[in-house]
A and B are shown apart, each in its own frame.
Chain A
Amino acid sequence: MKHYLLIVVLCFLNITHAQDCTYTFLGEIKDFHDGTPLAGATIHIETLNSYTTADINGKFSVKNLCNGTLVLVISHVGCETKRVEIDINGNTYKEINMEHHLEELNEVVVAANTKLDNTAIQQTVSKTQIETYTDKSLGDALNTISGVSSLNTGNSIVKPMIHGLHSSRLLIVNNNVRLFDQEWGDEHAPNIDINTSNSLEVIKGANTLKYGSDAIGGLILIKPKKYAAIDSLFGSSMVSFNTNGLGGNVNSEIIKTYKSGYYAKLQASYKQFGDFKAPHYYLTNTGLRNLNASMSIGYNSFEKGFNAYYSIVNNEFAILKSSHIGNVNDLVTAINNKEPRVVEDFSYNISYPKQSILHHLGKIEAYKRFKKLGKLSLQYDFQINRRKEYDLRRGDLADTPVIDLRLFTTSLQPNLQIDVFDNLEINTGFLLRFQQNDAISGTGVSPLIPDFEKYDAGIYATANYNLNLFSEISAGLRYDFSRIEATKWYNTTDWEDTYNYDELFPEFESGTTDNSETLTYPEFSFHNFSANLGYNRHFSNDFELFFNYGLASRMPNPSELFSDGLHHSAARIETGKLTIGKEIANKFMLSLERNNQKFGFTISPYFNYINDYVQLIPVGITTTVRGAFPVWEYNQVNAIIFGVDIDIDKKINNTLNYQGSISLLQGDNLTNDIPLIHMPSTNFTNSISYYNKDLNQLSISLNHKTVLQQNRYPDYNFNTYDATINDYVYVDISSPPSAYSLFGFNSTASFKAFKKGTLKLEFNIENIFNTSYREYLNRLRYFADELGRNFNLKIKINY
């Protein structure tokens, strides 16, 4: 009874007080990260339409309030304005946390100037530049960066190369997911639709430990865009058309964002080309068909967020018909003939040989920030890569691929970013990954890569410390454990005699033999350490100096350990070795930059010493029913690769700008005292551009690229007997083609179209003078010239 009375009295009191409107709200504004009070924050009390400011302790009060909802809009220099709703129920106190990491939410705004890591030596390809490459590949787009080249198989299978290193030595990270699809052969190019990306970043040092310990060559980051929290629906469509290959690309994307922070994006692109043309002939069977789609949904706020992303890439590449040869005599004939042996009329047909690849990538990522600690994020991802390579075959097997691989990769990666300290930021986390390769049965060919399962576990910590306003230092450590378990049939003679594996690895034998083959279960475990140290310093006059040292170690990939079979287009048998161990690189880089509007430059020398560098080189000849075949084996040597990349940017006047770059590189095999195979030669570019903002943002540029002949190459040429002419013939598989210069023209202009949209037109000419040339880093250079002149038209509509 007493209680009831009390409640009634309280209620009564409450009501009377509420009507009095005499409550006070006390607020305290603090920095989210370190809890320091934010003095001087402006508070707009929307409900009362009045203003106040926080005192030196970050405190403020609002008096004479009734019970109900109070809406405050708080702003502070360097922080994102925050709108909070507070329920007033009597005298109320609330702590309000502000964040001052604007750039994380609006990364797109500053993408061109933001570095992933201030001490990294890094270059970026922006969205506008990517759009120029909408109908090309990732490798083509990156090729514009000094120090980046590409290893090609024909013209559409393009592997990026940084400072002469490619494949497993480059980490390609797409939307924070490390891509697994391209390590096992020169002709396995990354399956990425560059239209999904907002920026491409190339980090030339081996210093991004968050992604792996094996970035001996560097890292390529493909980054999506982040969207501001506003209610909006927008998108763009782009169509491109090319005269060479009579094809192009259509790309469309649509994005919906909400003020609450939710967003969704849908993107799709379709690309088709027919046979490309060299200056003097069609490159029969070089067309391609790609269909790609991606979607992303997520929620972004300062304190928490998530993102779910899925992309599918479906690529079908025809491979130059003339590159399908049977033995070394066919190769000699191809090398000696100036023209490819099959030249037919233009066609959209994709016949054999060809590659067809389907790549799924899915990820989900979530993050939450904790007060006075930092940001915890968790990512789970998976990839399925199905690769089918078709050759010209006889009879019932005509439509059966010779290589049919399915690679499944899944990983879990938590990361904690600690930013509570003023001058220090720490990143730490671990990685768990499982990979399974299935060499699908029924190809009628020994699988080039066998079935295997691979387990990875890694742990890392990196730290950035601001020494003072002008200099920063970073350091990191990473440890990885990897285990690979394979199942492989070896030719018994190879197992016992050729490679002596029965004595070296008796533990791998299963005891099962059949039809001159031995079943084995090779298992390897590797421990990898990596570390990096970086320093940067700003000087007056816009000068900036970077130093970076990276230690990276890479375990051999399955092709280096196990490959065993024939590559028709190169007329070679490729053999992996179970004795291959890990390679360890020490890379030093220095970069002096001047970021000045009038005259800017970057000079970055580098030196990479690689212990036990794995290379694939010709070692001899084997006779088969088809005649003689060169055998290429993986072996290990000590190597150094050093060079310098120089970029220059000079503003001539208000409208004219000059850009130039030169890359010098030398790679040496120290063990045999000869040059390394397949190193890019000296190349330089010049471009002069005119830009007028007032004239529909008209931009016109003329550009030039010269690639000098590679004079430093290992000579693996040999003689072989040709029974048809009863004589020995010289097999020139090493000599690089001569130097070439290409000229190009680019122009773009933007127009206002309908109410809110813009229309962008772009017209380009590649290889203006229709120059015939061959490129040393193209695997098909023995068979045909590179592409001739191309006119390209692009129309982009933003809405």
Chain B
Amino acid sequence: MKTIKLLALFFVSSLVFVSCSSDDDHDDHDHEKELITTVTYTLTNGDDVVTLKFEDLDGEGGTDGTYTVSGNLSANTTYTGSIELLNATENPAEDITEEVEEEGDEHEFFYTSTISDITFTKTDTDEDGNPIGIETTLTTGDAGTGSLTIILKHEPTKPNDGTSTSAGGSTDVSVTFSIEVE
């Protein structure tokens, strides 16, 4: 008899458990995602503004991201570069660059180009005096076509020799744009 009572008690408590856990939030389930949907690299030289933009609004899977480059770069010119990372699935879009800046010592952007005489200089620094790469200058050389790659590393070795491979860490952003210097 005693066991039957105990069994009954367990059943009741299990029902309580089930009903407690039925806080199903089916319709809005985790709809706010933390993503980097948009990478915009803006290069400015006076009135000459070139933007390189990567956009993948549905994140991993789904439709592939798109690359747009607003125009060609001019040869033998120095541009001021600025990068912006956005999560555009939120409204208003969340500026992820701010997070990267706040945790500057745990992040670094790396810029490379297959056009060999383009040079990049990172002009900002983190709290330890190491470069972050949100602010840059880009200097072009002779005309040519090729690609420009931007990589953001999370927890890289800092300081490093300036290449993303040796910096280690894990990659948060890796986008490659086709560019032309004329």
Q: Which residues of A line the B interface, CB within 8 A?
A: 306, 308, 324-327, 329-330, 333, 341-342, 362, 364, 366, 378, 380, 382, 384, 392-397, 406, 408, 410, 434, 436, 438-439, 441-447, 450-451, 487, 489, 491-494, 498, 512, 514-517, 519, 564-566, 568, 573, 575, 622-627, 629, 723-726
Q: A626-B171, A724-B165 are in contact. List 6 more A-B contacts (CB 8 A).
A: A326-B154, A436-B21, A438-B24, A443-B30, A444-B30, A487-B24
Chain B stretch 147-175: residues in CB contact (< 8 A) with chain A = 147, 149, 151, 153-155, 163-165, 168-175
Indicate if the CB atoms of B154 and A624 lie closer than 8 Å: no
CB distance from A429 to the nearest CB of B (A): 16
Indicate if the CB atoms of B61 and A498 lie closer than 8 Å: yes
Provide the B30-60 mask, 1 if CB < 8 A to any CB of A, else 0. Answer: 1111111101000000000000001011111
CB distance from A345 to the nearest CB of B (A): 16
CB distance from B91 to the nearest CB of A (A): 9
- The list of the 10 closest CB pairs from A to B, nearest first, reads A326-B171, A627-B174, A395-B99, A444-B34, A491-B62, A326-B170, A723-B149, A493-B62, A366-B3, A723-B176
Indicate if the CB atoms of A439 and B99 lie closer than 8 Å: no
C-alpha spacing A118/B87, complex, angstroms? 62
Indicate if the CB atoms of B3 and A306 lie closer than 8 Å: yes
Residues of A within 8 A of B176 (CB): 723
Contact partner of A489 (CB less than 8 A), chosen from B18, B31, B64, is: B31
Query: Which of A364, A447, A450, A624 has the most CB atoms of chain B within a 10 A radius of its CB?
Result: A624
CB distance from A393 to the nearest CB of B (A): 8
CB distance from B1 to the nearest CB of A (A): 11
Given contacts A333-B165, A442-B30, A489-B29, A568 and B99 within 8 Å (CB-CB): no
Indicate if the CB atoms of B171 and A516 lie closer than 8 Å: no
Contact partner of B171 (CB less than 8 A), chosen from A329, A406, A487, A564, is: A329
Given contacts A325-B170, A380-B7, A442-B30, A724 and B149 within 8 Å (CB-CB): yes
Contact partner of B58 (CB less than 8 A), chosen from A410, A516, A575, is: A516
Residues of A within 8 A of B31 (CB): 489, 514-515, 517
Indicate if the CB atoms of A384 and B17 lie closer than 8 Å: yes
C-alpha spacing A786/B56, complex, angstroms? 39
> What DSSP secondary structure best describes chain B's contact surface?
mixed
Indicate if the CB atoms of A362 and B10 lie closer than 8 Å: yes
Residues of A within 8 A of B28 (CB): 441
Indicate if the CB atoms of A395 and B103 lie closer than 8 Å: yes
Given contacts A327-B171, A394-B96, A487-B26, A623 and B34 within 8 Å (CB-CB): no
Indicate if the CB atoms of A394 and B99 lie closer than 8 Å: yes
Q: Classify chain B: how many residues form its interface, as a range.
A: 35 or more
CB distance from A626 to the nearest CB of B (A): 5
Indicate if the CB atoms of B58 and A625 lie closer than 8 Å: no
Residues of A within 8 A of B141 (CB): none
C-alpha spacing A438/B64, complex, angstroms? 30
C-alpha spacing A436/B176, complex, angstroms? 44
Indicate if the CB atoms of B34 and A445 lie closer than 8 Å: yes
Given contacts A443-B30, A445-B30, A623-B65, A382 and B14 within 8 Å (CB-CB): yes
Chain B's closest residue to A442 (CB) is B30
Chain A's closest residue to B175 (CB) is A625
CB distance from A780 to the nearest CB of B (A): 14
Indicate if the CB atoms of B34 and A397 lie closer than 8 Å: yes
Given contacts A406-B21, A515-B31, A726-B147, A564 and B61 within 8 Å (CB-CB): yes
Indicate if the CB atoms of A364 and B174 lie closer than 8 Å: no
Residues of B within 8 A of A308 (CB): 6
C-alpha spacing A515/B57, complex, angstroms? 9
Residues of B within 8 A of A324 (CB): 170
Residues of B within 8 A of A406 (CB): 21
Indicate if the CB atoms of A726 and B64 lie closer than 8 Å: no
Indicate if the CB atoms of A441 and B30 lie closer than 8 Å: yes
Indicate if the CB atoms of A724 and B164 lie closer than 8 Å: yes
Contact partner of A573 (CB less than 8 A), chosen from B60, B65, B103, B171, is: B60
C-alpha spacing A220/B7, complex, angstroms? 27
C-alpha spacing A326/B35, complex, angstroms? 13
Residues of A within 8 A of B96 (CB): 394-395
C-alpha spacing A730/B62, complex, angstroms? 26
Residues of A within 8 A of B35 (CB): 625
Residues of B within 8 A of A623 (CB): 64-65
Answer yes or no: B112 CB below 8 A from chain A CBs: yes
C-alpha spacing A442/B64, complex, angstroms? 25
30 intermolecular pairs with C-beta atoms under 8 Å apart: A306-B2, A326-B170, A326-B174, A330-B170, A366-B3, A380-B7, A382-B17, A393-B34, A395-B99, A410-B17, A410-B18, A439-B29, A441-B28, A441-B29, A441-B30, A450-B29, A487-B29, A492-B62, A493-B58, A516-B58, A622-B60, A622-B61, A623-B64, A624-B59, A624-B65, A626-B174, A627-B151, A723-B174, A724-B110, A726-B147
C-alpha spacing A627/B149, complex, angstroms? 11
Given contacts A306-B6, A394-B103, A408-B17, A494 and B163 within 8 Å (CB-CB): no
Indicate if the CB atoms of A342 and B168 lie closer than 8 Å: yes
CB distance from A389 to the nearest CB of B (A): 15
Answer yes or no: B27 CB below 8 A from chain A CBs: yes
Chain A's closest residue to B63 (CB) is A493
C-alpha spacing A622/B172, complex, angstroms? 15
Answer yes or no: B128 CB below 8 A from chain A CBs: no
CB distance from A600 to the nearest CB of B (A): 43
Indicate if the CB atoms of B155 and A392 lie closer than 8 Å: yes
C-alpha spacing A519/B30, complex, angstroms? 12
Contact partner of A724 (CB less than 8 A), chosen from B64, B89, B163, is: B163
Answer yes or no: B182 CB below 8 A from chain A CBs: no
C-alpha spacing A447/B112, complex, angstroms? 35
C-alpha spacing A394/B99, complex, angstroms? 7
Answer yes or no: B142 CB below 8 A from chain A CBs: no
CB distance from A201 to the nearest CB of B (A): 27
Query: Which of B21, B64, B99, B171 has the most CB atoms of chain A within a 10 A radius of its CB?
Result: B171
Given contacts A392-B155, A408-B17, A623-B65, A446 and B33 within 8 Å (CB-CB): yes
Provide the B113-146 mask, 1 if CB < 8 A to any CB of A, else 0. Answer: 0100000000000000000000000000000000
Residues of A within 8 A of B102 (CB): 395
Chain B's closest residue to A493 (CB) is B62
C-alpha spacing A324/B168, complex, angstroms? 11
Indicate if the CB atoms of B60 and A629 lie closer than 8 Å: yes
Indicate if the CB atoms of B36 and A625 lie closer than 8 Å: yes
C-alpha spacing A269/B114, complex, angstroms? 58
Given contacts A392-B155, A445-B33, A493-B63, A434 and B171 within 8 Å (CB-CB): no
Indicate if the CB atoms of A494 and B61 lie closer than 8 Å: yes
Indicate if the CB atoms of B27 and A625 lie closer than 8 Å: no
Chain A's closest residue to B2 (CB) is A306
C-alpha spacing A442/B163, complex, angstroms? 35
Given contacts A408-B18, A446-B30, A625-B39, A568 and B7 within 8 Å (CB-CB): no
Indicate if the CB atoms of A436 and B18 lie closer than 8 Å: yes
Residues of A within 8 A of B37 (CB): 625
